[in-house]
Structure 1
Amino acid sequence: MRCGWKGLCPRCGQGRMFRSWLKIVDRCGTCGLDYRFAAPDDGPAFFSLCVCALPLIAFVVWVQVAFDPPAWVHLLTSVPFMAIGTLLPLRPIKGWLVASQYVNRAQEAGTRKLWAQLHGTDPERSDFDQ
């Protein structure tokens, strides 16, 4: 979990997991782990919205009800607060999801042979055992 939050390789804990803000590298530069298994899809956005945005929305609604500020105040304060509060956690959440996929060997049920055929790997050997 710690490696995922820091954006480090889940196998060796030293190589970088990201090449840019949310783009995952093809292979770990240290141990050579192939990140083809990584498919966090919409998970980071879902967790960011549920865990981060809901409390932020509750705070913005409280400010509106308690103080009734004009719309321009929300435009200058609430909108940037919400944008930063939901965008900043995306990378650590994505790293955590990729690392947990590696640790738990998560893959679609029944797709090992198709995956091996598409990527030219041994169907009897798991892609996590590279």
Structure 2
Amino acid sequence: MLRPEFFEGTHVTISPQPSPFLVGLLCRCPRCGKGKLFSGYLKIAPACSVCGLDLKFADSGDGPAVFVIFLVSPIIILLALITGALVSIPPYMHLILWIPATIILSVALLPPFKATLVALQYRHDAHEGHQ
């Protein structure tokens, strides 16, 4: 729902910002939620193709990789433990199962996590600290 705001006698309509978690999951622009955020696998586009937001501010650093590691590691370990408890398989089969699963999950989760961190950075107007 749009809400009217008044600034110095002019009537301005402010549209609600999209959820940073939703636009992150969809890898969309943090301002409009429609334009693509990435021009490659993890390369951020120079600007939004829909609203024109300059995306040069976006720098998520190593944050997405850290969050993905903290999410994927316990999942894989839990699945490996459950599999080992239910079925007796040789150790090399664990390698055959869990190395590809780890890689696939990590590669699949990196873009949405990076997009979410960029959207949160935009939402909170976060900048690098200066002295």
TM-based fold match above 0.5: yes
Q: Does 1:56 align with 2:76?
A: yes
| 1:99 aligns to 2:119 (yes or no) | yes
One-letter code aligned to 1:93 = F
**Larger strand proportion of the pair:** 2
Gaps of 5+ in 2: 1-19
Distance between the aligned counterparts of 1:8 and 1:89, measured in 2?
15
Out of 40, 45, 50, which is 1:20 matched to?
40
Pairing of 1:66-85 with structure 2 (within 5 A): 67-85=87-105
- Say which structure, 1 or 2, has more relative contact order (CA 8 Å, 6+ apart): 1
> Structure 1: which 5+ runs fail to align?
112-130
TM-score (normalizing by structure 1): 0.76
SS of the residue 1:41 aligns to: coil
**Alignment-mate amino acid for residue 16 of structure 1:** K
Higher-helix-fraction structure: 1
Give the superposition deviation at 1:79: 1.4
Aligned-residue offset at 1:107:
0.6
Q: Do the aligned residues in 2 keep the contact of 1:4 with 1:96 (CA within 8 Å)?
A: yes
Percent identity over paired residues: 35
What is the total number of aligned residue pairs between the two structures?
A: 111
Which one has the largest radius of gyration? Answer: 2
